[in-house]
Structure 1
Amino acid sequence: MNYRVIKENKLFFLTDENGNIVENHSYGLGLYMNDTRYLSKFNLKINGEEPILLHSDGSENYMAKILMTNPHQEKEGSLILWRESVEIERTRFIYDDILYETVTAKNYYPKTVSFELSAHFDADFKDMFIVRGFQTGKVGRRTGQEINKNQLDFLYEGADEVKRTTSVKWDTPHDRASEEGDVHFSITLGHEESKAITFMIAPKEGEEKNQVHLPAHEALEKLKASYTEWENSMTSVETDYLPLQRLVDRGTDDLRVLLTDIGYGRFPVAGLPWFGVPFGRDSLIAALQMLAFQPEVAKGTLLTMASLQGTKVDPWRDEQPGKIMHEIRSGELANTGQIPFTPYYGTIDATPLFLVLLTEYVRWTNDLDTFHRLEENVKRALQWIDEYGDRDGDLFVEYHQEAEKGIANQGWKDSGDSIVHRNGDYAETPIALSEVQGYVYQAKKGIASIYEKLGKTEQAEDLSKQADSLKAKFEKEFWMDDQQFYAIALDQDKKQVGTITSNPGHVLFSGMLNEERSLKVSDMLTSEKMFSGFGIRTMGEGEAGYNPMSYHDGSIWPHDNSMILLGMSRLGYQQHAKKVIEGLIDAGAHFEYDRLPELFCGYGDKIGKAVKYPVACSPQAWAAGTPLVFIQGLLGIVPDSTEKKITIDPFLLDGMNELTVHSMRIGEGILSLKVTRDCGKIQTEILENSSGCEIEQS
């Protein structure tokens, strides 16, 4: 990555590797809150010159450290500062919506040195959509700057009539400061003496009270304690296969930094730097991936999505009653109605995925109280599927863009070129995607099962019949005899979009496919055409639209693979699942900090390394959740706490001899187990089972 990013709750800080906010960077650097850039410049200098970067560490999710030193400085033959005399360390973290940055200077020169450290700040308060070049529009104006002792305030009044302020404070007496944003400190240090300056930068919206600025060390301890609490609440994993251990540890840490709470419990935002917001399908899928590790996140995600469920027909936002939203934004352009993301509902899959997550959550936890709490939301979501999702009454759920500034392709492959016929023509909407039909089937079967347990027999039978009818028609309309595979979609004329893609792989998880065709799908996805060696491609090599460098037409998305893995694991296709898991683990070793990115290029492993995609988000929630799915797949675990049973069918990867899982929350308690390889045979030891469920091993 050519950037460094940290996040906590609704605030994130994006800089270059030197720790600076510079202009004309491809990622639009800055300090952001609520889709507004509250800091657009932050540059550190020593004696007016840029320090030299030594090391830039972004391995910790809650804190970044950057190590620098001074260049050689002299004037007219007189020495000012010998090269590499002063070590400069920048340490930053966010707590309670305040950015803390401590700059520590240490003298390694044999004698006392004097120098000036200076920082330059500015705030343009630009909406994120403007920063990214996606939108222009009516905006507000800067209303000035104020300096008061050790504080510099930048003031702005938005077109949405919201007053915004960026307050920069520092804890050390300064030499001079200006309203232009410059703060200068004169520093004298003896040999190996050091001095620290802490900046505290706080965005403020409206008439919010000024935040309480804790001392940096105290704020950092509180932040670390929250991470310890998170780790203690998670299922823990130990394995002797270190590449897998590193991916799992990185994934759980990344998911913690992406958690946000807007009042209904913690849920994962989509990813950094650009999607740190509630995001329909991304948040739902990430929560689904986390069920074996932290089911409480699924509850927070469900309640958050339910709170934003559509209530009316609004073409500007692609909203309909009962629909689960796609994305919500809260910046100046959204507040003034210049973009439709308030929230925007242009997604075809979030509504059935909401129901899938709920049914899976109940299977893991038996939390029927949450189901009862959401029962009206369930009814409205089911009604949306039948009345608005199925636009023409043919049993298939289709999408079509209504919003002028909305999204044309409304499945997870939402780029404009992602739904393409085998002759290279783009499909016209309305479009019915294969995976969406699987989600709908799984949702209706799952809700029917819960209704059956609650004694609502008539509703259960009705939903189950609807699902069976969908299954029969799906087989008839989507199966391609000549390819022995399913079409990605049906177009506006109900013609098959026959390009070979990963989308039908999601249907494996739904349970909608018969055994013969499930195996054919799994074989295709792990064939040379679809499998690069590092993962399953989004589109098959040799297809008209195939491009290994594309966003959706030949690239590899870890989350896409994880959804397929959930199905392969549930169906018992261990060799297929093993191949995919091992490929992604191999890919992870080629990315910074063993972090699977949002996506990477689909080139084969003959190149020798996984090739990064130029502007992939990292960390990304559903990429971070993918290694957690590896563990679920390796255990072959399928819980149904409502029926008081857990099925397991474990296997291990090549070179892996032990996998121990502690405190997996199922039903009324926890399950801990250990899987080992002994003389070539897989052995399972149940260490603890307080779940109230019987364990069946396949």
Structure 2
Amino acid sequence: MDYRVIKEGDLFFLTGLNGDIVLGDDQGHGLYTKDTRFLSRMEAFIDGEKPSLLSSAGDKSYVASFRLMKEAKDEGAVEVHRERFIYSGILYERCTLTNYFVGDSHFEFSVSFDADFQDMFLVRKYRTGEVGRMEEIRTGDLEMTLAYMGADNLRRQTRISWDADGGQADQTGTVSFPLSLKPQEQKVITFCITPMTEQHPAAEPLTYEEGLKKLEASYEEWYENSSRVQSDSALFSGLYQRGLQDLRMLTTDVGFGDTTVAGLPWFAVPFGRDSLITALFMLPVNPQHAKGTLRTLAAYQGEKTDPWRDEQPGKIMHEIRYGELVTTNQSPFSPYYGTIDSTPLFLALIGEYYRWTGDLSLAEELKPNMLRALDYIDASLEAGSGFMAYKQEAEKGFPNQGWKDSANSIIHENGEYAESPIALSEVQGYVYQAKASLVPVFAELGEPERARRLETEAAELRARFESAFWMEDEMCYAIALDKDLRQVRSVSSNPGHLLMSGLPEESRAKAQSKRMLRSDMFNGYGIRTMSTDSTGYYPMSYHNGSVWPHDNAMILLGLGKQGFKDEAGKVISGLLQASAHFEYQRLPELFCGHDAKLGYPVPYPTTCSPQAWAAGTSIAFLQAMLGLYPNAARKEIALSPFLPEGMNELKAERIAIGNGHLSVFVVREAGSSTFKVQVLENTTGFNLVD
């Protein structure tokens, strides 16, 4: 990555590799909360010059550190060690200055600050709009405050304080410290930077050490409450630990319990699809995370028909924003509902959460939301000739509203873009999974008639789908149907999600799984989003030939569920090899679809990293490798493990299922493809089955 980013709660800080946000920055660097940039400049100087970079580290998701120096050739240097983290809404930065000259060193250390309070959409040049005005900088003893009165009449402020006497702040936003250090003497200066609004007043800063100790303790608690994994594959163990750490970093609570934001730097807000899929991946390590996600999305469920926001009653949102353009109704993201898949995924997650936990209380709590979502889906099915389809209504919304939401992602063989309403293949699978997985839920809730109706509707959708989407010549399903119910005959990864839903009949499920692993789809590192033989393919695309780890993980959950272990092992091995090439073994949002014969995965230029559903990919690996699929209605746990090439041992401890935990140890039999399974703990109340 060419940036460093840390996040905690609603606050994240994005800078260059030297830790600075430079004056006139055009990279979007800054300190953000509520989709507003509360710091747009932070540059360190020694005697008015920028020190040079020695090292930059972000191996811990929650701490970043930088070593810089200003030297006089052959004489010595002043080193600046910058360390930062965020805790309880405050950015802490500790600057340690060390004199490495042989004699006393006299110099001025200064840091220049500014805040433009721009809406995230303005920073990204994604929107334009009317905005407010800056106010004069206020300076005081050991602090200064930058302020802005927004077009929404909300005053936004950034308070910058420091703990070293002698610092002088001027009206340009620069704080200067005249220093005199003996050889190897150090001076430590700590800054606390606090975004504030009338709705969110400032908290009192802790000491640097106290704040860091509390932050690290929260991570230890996260690890303690998550499943623990060990293996003899350093790649898998490293990827799993990185993913678990990044998921903690990306966790937030907007008032309804923990959920994940989509990714950094540009999508640090709850999403429908992204947050739901991430929670689905996280079920083996932390099923309680699903509760906060579902409650958050239920709180924003659509209530009326509003074309401005693509809102309809019962619909689950796509994305919510909080910046000035939203609060002044210049943008429809308050929230925006232009997605076709969030609503069935919302219901599918409720069903899967029940399968893992047997907890009916959440379904009882969310029953009104479930019924409204089912009504919305049924109305959409009726309007779409039996399939759930989308059509853009909002002028400033998205033309394509599945997970491949770029404008060119749904393309016919002749090169024409499909016209909406468009019915995506995977969305029909999500609808099928939603209805089928809620059958035992409603049966347990004392509504057998509704349960029977959902079962019938799922079967009828399956029959319609098999008739309309199957491409016999390609031995796989079409990506979509267009407005005339014509197949969009791209060979793509989308239908791979159907395996997770359980929709395809057995022979077609097998054919679909094999089709995705042919060389035109599988590049050696992962399954491409589009076949190299399909119209519109190019490897550097966003959705037409790139490789998305989360897309592969969705497919993996289905390959594992259907028992296609060879195919699953190939995908896992490829992505593990790819992960070794990315900084800190952090799988990005996507990478280019070039063949692995190059010897390395080609990075996509503007990918999010870290990104929630990419971080959750290793957990999907774990579930697929264990062949782990609980069923609370039957009080059973399907367990049918395998290990990919290069892995011979896997221990997974304290997997939360039912009312307890499952711990297992899987070992490959010497020189074979068979595996011995030792159950170390089973307090779930469920029986194990093959």
TM-score, L = length of structure 2? 0.98
Secondary structure at the aligned position of 2:262 is classed as: coil
Specify the alignment match of 2:290 in structure 1: 298
Partner Cα distance (1:504, 1:116) in 2: 62
Partner Cα distance (2:44, 2:476) in 1: 57
Q: Deviations over 1:543-592 (max 9, x none)?
A: 11101000000000000000000000000000000000000001101100
Matched, 1:696 2:660: no
Specify the alignment match of 2:554 in structure 1: 563
How is 1:291-370 mapped onto 2 (pairs within 5 angstroms)?
291-370=283-362
Matched, 1:282 2:267: no
Deviates more, 1:671-680 or 1:213-222: 671-680
Secondary structure at the aligned position of 1:211 is classed as: coil
Specify the alignment match of 1:626 in structure 2: 617
Secondary structure at the aligned position of 1:598 is classed as: coil
CA contact (8 A) 1:488 1:497 kept: yes
Specify the alignment match of 1:682 in structure 2: 675
Partner Cα distance (1:640, 1:476) in 2: 30
Matched, 1:592 2:583: yes
Runs of 4 or more consecutive aligned structure 1 residues displaced over 4 Å after TM superposition: 23-26
Secondary structure at the aligned position of 1:295 is classed as: coil
CA drift at 1:392: 2.2
Specify the alignment match of 2:50 in structure 1: 50
Specify the alignment match of 1:636 in structure 2: 627
CA contact (8 A) 2:75 2:101 kept: no
Query: Which one-letter code corresponds to 1:223 in the other structure?
Result: L
CA contact (8 A) 1:69 1:84 kept: no
Partner Cα distance (2:213, 2:509) in 1: 50
How is 1:235-634 mapped onto 2 (pairs within 5 angstroms)?
235-387=227-379, 389-390=380-381, 392=383, 394-634=385-625
Partner Cα distance (1:466, 1:207) in 2: 47
Partner Cα distance (2:453, 2:633) in 1: 21
How is 1:173-184 mapped onto 2 (pairs within 5 angstroms)?
173-184=165-176
Query: Which one-letter code corresponds to 2:370 in the other structure?
Result: V
Query: Which one-letter code corresponds to 2:35 in the other structure?
Result: D
Partner Cα distance (1:6, 1:199) in 2: 16
Query: Which one-letter code corresponds to 1:692 in the other structure?
Result: G
Partner Cα distance (1:603, 1:22) in 2: 35
Secondary structure at the aligned position of 2:38 is classed as: strand
CA contact (8 A) 1:152 1:179 kept: no
Query: Which one-letter code corresponds to 2:130 in the other structure?
Result: K
Matched, 1:172 2:155: no
Q: Deviations over 1:15-53 (max 9, x none)?
A: 000000025655310000100000000000111111110
Partner Cα distance (2:479, 2:534) in 1: 13
Matched, 1:94 2:86: yes
CA contact (8 A) 1:422 1:543 kept: yes
Q: Across the two proteins, how many residue pairs are aligned to each other?
A: 688
CA drift at 1:263: 1.5
CA contact (8 A) 1:99 1:202 kept: yes
Counterpart of 1:157 (choices 149, 156, 164) is: 149
CA drift at 1:107: 1.7
Partner Cα distance (1:670, 1:104) in 2: 46
Distance 1:84 1:621, change over 3 A: farther
How is 1:209-228 mapped onto 2 (pairs within 5 angstroms)?
209-228=201-220
Query: Which one-letter code corresponds to 2:631 in the other structure?
Result: D
Partner Cα distance (2:76, 2:364) in 1: 65
Secondary structure at the aligned position of 1:686 is classed as: strand
CA contact (8 A) 1:391 1:398 kept: no
CA contact (8 A) 1:238 1:245 kept: yes
Query: Which one-letter code corresponds to 1:21 in the other structure?
Result: I
Secondary structure at the aligned position of 1:540 is classed as: coil
Matched, 1:659 2:650: yes
Deviates more, 1:104-113 or 1:550-559: 104-113
CA drift at 1:602: 0.3
Q: Deviations over 1:424-446 (max 9, x none)?
A: 11001100000000000010011
CA contact (8 A) 1:366 1:642 kept: yes
Distance 1:83 1:308, change over 3 A: farther
Q: Deviations over 1:642-677 (max 9, x none)?
A: 321101000112121110011000001001110012
Query: Which one-letter code corresponds to 2:61 in the other structure?
Result: N
CA contact (8 A) 1:174 1:183 kept: no
Specify the alignment match of 1:76 in structure 2: none
TM-score, L = length of structure 1? 0.97
Partner Cα distance (1:363, 1:68) in 2: 52
CA contact (8 A) 2:37 2:120 kept: yes
Partner Cα distance (1:208, 1:381) in 2: 33
Partner Cα distance (2:429, 2:69) in 1: 56
Specify the alignment match of 2:126 in structure 1: 134
Secondary structure at the aligned position of 2:349 is classed as: helix
Deviates more, 1:19-28 or 1:256-265: 19-28
Secondary structure at the aligned position of 1:285 is classed as: helix
Partner Cα distance (1:639, 1:662) in 2: 16
Distance 1:259 1:207, change over 3 A: closer
Partner Cα distance (1:187, 1:126) in 2: 35
Partner Cα distance (1:25, 1:437) in 2: 44
Structure 2 portions without partners, runs of 5+: none
Specify the alignment match of 2:72 in structure 1: 72
CA contact (8 A) 1:137 1:333 kept: yes
Specify the alignment match of 1:186 in structure 2: 178
Secondary structure at the aligned position of 1:354 is classed as: helix
Query: Which one-letter code corresponds to 1:64 in the other structure?
Result: A
